Structure 1
Amino acid sequence: MTTPERPVPSPCVSICALDDDDICTGCQRTVSEITRWSRMDNAERREVLVLCHERAKSSGLLWMIGTKPG
């Protein structure tokens, strides 16, 4: 018998403000991703987390350790 997978937790950090592109400056999710989160399955949530990570990198909010700038 397998244990059901626990839900992937929300990346919300309680800094809820949208930038000019309607991306949350706290969690890096779009408005659509935020509103749909509770209805997403874990696979879709993981896809959104990858997108959030990429948005944070491209906006300069996340620096990669061990990489050189430029």
Structure 2
Amino acid sequence: MSSKSSDEPDPRASPCIRRCCLDDTDVCVGCGRTLGEILEWNEAGDERRRQIREQAARRVRQSAR
């Protein structure tokens, strides 16, 4: 049995929601990733992807304010 929470996303799954459009600071308005993070995604390991996903989610929450 896995100790991984069922709420935890697959670390390989991209946070992309297919609303790709970069704002003036090169942050995607759809998923919240920076252009650099988007380019890094395919080569990033699971831990780095988790960090990117957390940072992107924080940006999306902040932009909704």
TM over 0.5, yes or no?
A: yes
Is 1:51 aligned to residue 55 of structure 2? yes
TM-score between the two structures when normalised by the length of structure 2: 0.78
Deviation string 1:31-63 (CA, Å, 9 cap, x unpaired) is 0000110000000000001101110111117xx
- Relative to the length of structure 1, the TM-score reads 0.73
Unpaired segments ≥5 residues, structure 2: 1-9
RMSD of the alignment, in Å? 1.5
Larger radius of gyration: 1
| Structure with the larger RCO, 1 or 2 (CA within 8 Å, 6+ apart) | 2
**Whose helix proportion is higher, 1 or 2?**
2
Q: Percent identity?
A: 38
